[in-house]
Structures are given as structure tokens and as C-alpha cells.
């Protein structure tokens, strides 16, 4: 699959499309042109994929239409680490960043290793979950980026149980739970409860729940390599989305310091996570 690197939002296009780059501010026209060009795709598949490309092209890798898998792990990653996100209150965030570990907030009785917690590699999903740190509650007022061991991340997921399709109660006591939720993209026209995001109905994003012994891995410095406060970037990004007119290019550049792209997953892990499922 040949992918195209896009920079300015105003020149978004993808391989195989005859539509020309649209002038800035003509996003709706570009979307209409793309829709006409992709009539060969089923309508329910084509529109979300085109929308995804328009929303993400500022700083992301855009794949040709129809090539996004139903279940993918998309993340900022390198050979050694994968970036995941969590939202916390000010006290926990300050202590964790200062110590580059959750051990400090644990020792201050602010953070509990016995409480279930969730990590997610999608920045937009994190933004939706915490309301960009300003639109929901104070316990989600800060976003931390955790750069975790890539091999450790894969090992953690190998022991996961999937919440979808599992028998009732099967996930209750499992150390790692994986939930595949609809992917989200930035959308400045979204209703208030969607907090500047929109679902992609034909693409799923991974959410990873940690319980018991798996939460302990967040205390291991060989697993959590870096803890970074990315709250200012999230707040600046939503500022760009809420501006008049909205600036999607700026929001993308702020949210993704490096591209968030599909993570290659070993075959055994793909099978364990049922990533080759074609739909639900």
C-alpha cells in the first residue's frame, strides 16, 4: 500500500482520486468531490474514510480509500516505544511528571495500583474522553503521554480478553481487557456532547483496561519509559478547533508532534485481538 504524507490541510488529496486540491476553507467542496470520485466504494465505507482523511491530513499518514482495517492500533511509536494516553487530576499529574513515574503519586496516596485504569493510543479518543482537559471534570484536567516499552505493550496485550462478544462476567477479573470502540476524528462542527470529535463508524480504536497485576506494570521503569504532560498541546488544539474559522491544520500539528500511524502487529497478537474481524 502506498501512502501519502500530507502537510497543509488545504491541499488534502489521496492516491487514486481525480479531485484537485481544494483552496483553503473549501473543505466541504473537497469532501463532495471525493464522494463523487469514490462511488465504487460502498457509501457507508467511503464517507467515513474520506472524512478521516480530511480531518487527519494535517500531520498524519493518510491511506488510500478502503485500505483502513476495521480494527487497527494507530499510535505514535518507534522501534522501542509506543505512546499511550491517560487523564488525571492536577495532583497526580504533577507528581507523576516530576518523578517520571507513578510511584511518587502512589507514595503520596494519590494514585492507587489496585484501581482499574485505562490507556489508549489515540490522541483524539483521549481528547473526547477527557473533554480536551477543560470540558469535563477536574479529575481529567491533565493528559499524560506515556511512552511505554513496545515489546512490553505487545506482551501485555497478548494476555488480554476482548470485551466484545465475551460471556457476561468473563472480563470482570481479568488483568487486561481490550475494548474496540469506534475511532474518532476531530470535527469543529460536532455537537457539544461530542466535544469537537466525530465517530468513524467503520473503523475501531483500541482501548486497554488494566486491573490488578497489570496496573503494577505502570510502576515499572522498564515499561513506562517517559511520562510527559501534553495538556498544553491538547488545550491549544481545542482552541484551534473552536476558533472562527476553525484551524484543523493547526490542531493536528499541535496534537501530533509525530504522525500517529498504524502499528505493525505480530500475527499471533492480531489473532488474539481478533484484528482481522471484518465488522460487527
pLDDT per position as a tens digit, 176-217: 999 999 999 999 999 999 999 999 988 999 999 999 999 999
Does a structural domain hold residue 106?
yes
Q: How far is CA 19 from CA 29, 41, 162, in A?
A: 10, 16, 40
Does a structural domain hold residue 34?
no
Residue-range definition of the domain harbouring residue 187: 71-273
Does a structural domain hold residue 166?
yes
pTM of the model: 0.76
Does a structural domain hold residue 7?
no
Does a structural domain hold residue 47?
no
Does a structural domain hold residue 126?
yes
Count: domains in the chain: 1
Residues 41 and 62: their CA atoms lie apart, in Å, by 17
Does a structural domain hold residue 38?
no
Does a structural domain hold residue 256?
yes
Per-residue pLDDT of the chain (280 residues; tens, 9 = 90+): 333 233 333 223 233 333 333 334 444 444 444 333 333 333 333 333 333 344 444 333 333 334 567 899 999 999 999 999 999 999 999 999 999 999 999 999 999 999 999 999 999 999 999 999 999 999 999 999 999 999 999 999 999 999 876 555 556 678 999 999 999 999 999 999 999 999 998 899 999 999 999 999 999 999 999 999 999 999 999 999 999 999 999 999 999 999 999 999 999 999 999 998 776 5
Amino acid at each position: 500500500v502506498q501512502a501519502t504524507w500530507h502537510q497543509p490541510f488545504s491541499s488534502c488529496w489521496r492516491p487514486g482520486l481525480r479531485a484537485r486540491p481544494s483552496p483553503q476553507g473549501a473543505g466541504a467542496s473537497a469532501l463532495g468531490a471525493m464522494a463523487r470520485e469514490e462511488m465504487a466504494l460502498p457509501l457507508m465505507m467511503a464517507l467515513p474514510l474520506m472524512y478521516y482523511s480530511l480531518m487527519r491530513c494535517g500531520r498524519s499518514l493518510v491511506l488510500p480509500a478502503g485500505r483502513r482495517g476495521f480494527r487497527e492500533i494507530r499510535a505514535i511509536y518507534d522501534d522501542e516505544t509506543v505512546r499511550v494516553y491517560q487523564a488525571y487530576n492536577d495532583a497526580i499529574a504533577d507528581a507523576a511528571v516530576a518523578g517520571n513515574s507513578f510511584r511518587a503519586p502512589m507514595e503520596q496516596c494519590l494514585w492507587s495500583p489496585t484501581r482499574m485504569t485505562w490507556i489508549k493510543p489515540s490522541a483524539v479518543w483521549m481528547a473526547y474522553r477527557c473533554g480536551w482537559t477543560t470540558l469535563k471534570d477536574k479529575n481529567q484536567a491533565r493528559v499524560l503521554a506515556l511512552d511505554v516499552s513496545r515489546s512490553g505493550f505487545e506482551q501485555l496485550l497478548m494476555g488480554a480478553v476482548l470485551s466484545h462478544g465475551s460471556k457476561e462476567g468473563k472480563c470482570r477479573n481479568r488483568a487486561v481487557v481490550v475494548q474496540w470502540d469506534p475511532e474518532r476524528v476531530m470535527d469543529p462542527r460536532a455537537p457539544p456532547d461530542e466535544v469537537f470529535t466525530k465517530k468513524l463508524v467503520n473503523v475501531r480504536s483500541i482501548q486497554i483496561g488494566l486491573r490488578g497485576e497489570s496496573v503494577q506494570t505502570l510502576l515499572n521503569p522498564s515499561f513506562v519509559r517517559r511520562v510527559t504532560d501534553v495538556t498544553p498541546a491538547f488545550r491549544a488544539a481545542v482552541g484551534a478547533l473552536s476558533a472562527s474559522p476553525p484551524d484543523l491544520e493547526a490542531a493536528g500539528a499541535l496534537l501530533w508532534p509525530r504522525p500517529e500511524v498504524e502499528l505493525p502487529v505480530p500475527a499471533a497478537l492480531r489473532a488474539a485481538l481478533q484484528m482481522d474481524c471484518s465488522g460487527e
